[in-house]
Chain A
Amino acid sequence: MIIRGKSIVLNHNNISTDQIFPGKYVNLTDSSEIASHVLEGLDPGIKQQIKPESILVVGKNFGCGSSREQAVIALKESGVCAVIAESAGRIWYRNAINLGLPVILIEEPALKIGDDEKLEIHLKQGIVKNISQAMDYQGEPVADFILEIFESGGIKPMMRKKYASS
């Protein structure tokens, strides 16, 4: 599975779900309403930068904190097509897998990649190709089990297929 897009770099560690999607909005369930508050707790201006096929490049422990799934929905619905992190909060990471938002873990991504650079992510191999800089970065290959979920567009279509007949 190969993902192509342009980078938006947020060079911070520990960007919490409270910053990605503030707690005061957790009762919202409509995807476009959720997306309208993306990263508002970090910088309300960022949402103007996010376009379809944006790849978010962040530091360590991205998505730490709460289990709110809106912290993935907000990014995905805003146009973020993948996240490159050094590490990710595990509940956020699971939510991302389930909702089919690919995440790849590489070392110090926010120091290697600049803003608005053209990237290509090879999930199975765990490689990020920086087309703009003509550089490759080796990260963690994504396990087949998780790759299958990403390739299905998330766990919902997989479950639907599996249980539709029963």
Chain B
Amino acid sequence: MAMHAIHKIMATASGRDSVSVGEIINVNIDVAGINDIYLLVLKSFEEMGGRSVWDPQKVVFFFDHNAPCGSINAAENQKTMREFARKQDIPHVFEINRGICHTVLPEAGMVKPGSVVIITDSHTTTHGAFGAFATGVGSTDMAVILMTGKLWFRVPDVIRITLTGSLKQGLMAKDVALYILGQLGADFAVYRAVEFSGPIVDAMSVEERTVLCNMAVEGAAKTAYVQPDQKTVDYVRSRTSADFTIYETDGDYKYENEIVFDMDSLSPQVAVPHNVDNVRKVSEVEGIPIDQVFIGSCTGGKLNDLAAAADILKGKRIADNTRLIINPGSKEVLERSIELGYVQTFIEAGAAIFTPGCGACIGLHGGLLAAGEKCVSTANRNFPGRMGSPQAEIYLTSPATAAATAIKGELTAAYPTSEI
């Protein structure tokens, strides 16, 4: 029977030749990642009688959500997790200086095409951009993985989104992702996988593709996928010498749904409060005064995101009524941003630089909002209370739009002058 590449990954990982949509299968996990807000993983592990993790080499700890800790409670949790990692001889511990799991894991060469990547974070769909089967789970699922190395999954139907045409200069993957969510809604892919393809995806860098896969979960997708090409291979090869397998979708595979969007006339997009699918053209809502601009997160804190922002902010000052927070996604992004002069640009423009990590995106620290404040954010969620007060408003945009907004002090679109 014809299979999608995702199904082939799942079949191989469950020791079978083939799988069918709707089947429940037990899948072997290649990377099991635990974030620092998931002490409950260790509680569940203990409650289930867990003693030793199944394979310490495959377990990864990320101290990224509280990086560094903003409360005693968080510090206590991290302490317990560090002790666990040491006791279990887990070698892969990404400390508070390293950055966001979804930025750090590919940088470390630990995401390979054809592999199964499970992390206690909903945006794990990101890694489908490298041709992996990747999805997020909660604490108890992760505890099951720690004990057995496996987890059950229902084999999903696949929706293919084909993006045709070309993007106007200055538009970013974030504009595309927001447009798709605006068109299809926040539940279009519930229990399903989403594949992104077409000339727009082909032309994107691997980093930009991660934005599409990252934001697929905002359409309720179980997982996302981009068929690996030479760019994928080059990226992964530059990061690891380990072997990997690229799976291909059978020619006669029947997608559950095929959707085509032409991007020729796309303009900068914004998700207005309080849902990610509440999407408008920036031009329709221009002029809203903005108290804070946040440039960071697993979808907007990569090197190309900061490059786009720096391009616009170079030689400019942010507006008096606005605060700008720049939050590099990883140590590597921060280092490169220093080398390339972006950090100097940001500081001169009046930005506050926060340490690599999830920062204000999850509302723990690093720039929380007061009631009534409005924030333009390059992150992926604008739910009430996401970044502090439930009475604050969050507008999601690309880093380019966010940077232009910081200068003007009101929501506005801009086009960077160089290629991004």
Contacts and interface: CB of A to CB of B under 8 A. Distances in A.
Given A18-B386, A90-B190, A26 B37 contact: yes
Interface string A30-73: 00000000001110000000000000000011001111111010
B384 A67 contact: no
Contacts of B152: 145
A13 B191 contact: no
B220 A61 contact: yes
A68 to B, nearest CB: 7
- Interface size on A, as a range, is 35 or more
A162 to B, nearest CB: 9
A75 to B, nearest CB: 13
Interface string A1-38: 00000000000011010110011101111000000000
B234 interface: no
B100 interface: no
A29 B364 CA distance: 15
A60 B147 contact: no
Given A65-B122, A66-B122, A67-B136, A87 B385 contact: no
Interface stretch (B38-46, B255-263, B334-342, B412-420): B38-46
B144 to A, nearest CB: 6
Given A26-B65, A41-B390, A163-B48, A98 B187 contact: no
A99 interface: yes
Main secondary structure, interface of B, reads loop
Interface string A127-154: 0000000000000000101000000001
Interface of B: 24, 37-40, 43-44, 47-50, 65-66, 71, 73-74, 77, 120-122, 136-141, 144, 147, 152, 186-187, 190-191, 218, 220, 222, 275, 277, 362-364, 368, 381, 383-386, 388, 390
17 contacts: A14-B186, A14-B275, A18-B381, A18-B383, A24-B368, A26-B364, A60-B190, A65-B383, A66-B121, A67-B137, A87-B187, A90-B191, A90-B222, A91-B122, A94-B137, A155-B48, A156-B48
Given A68-B138, A156-B48, 9 more contacts: A13-B186, A22-B363, A27-B66, A27-B71, A41-B385, A65-B122, A69-B139, A69-B140, A94-B138
Interface of A: 13-14, 16, 18-19, 22-24, 26-29, 40-42, 60-61, 64-70, 72, 87-92, 94-95, 98-99, 143, 145, 154-156, 159-160, 163-164
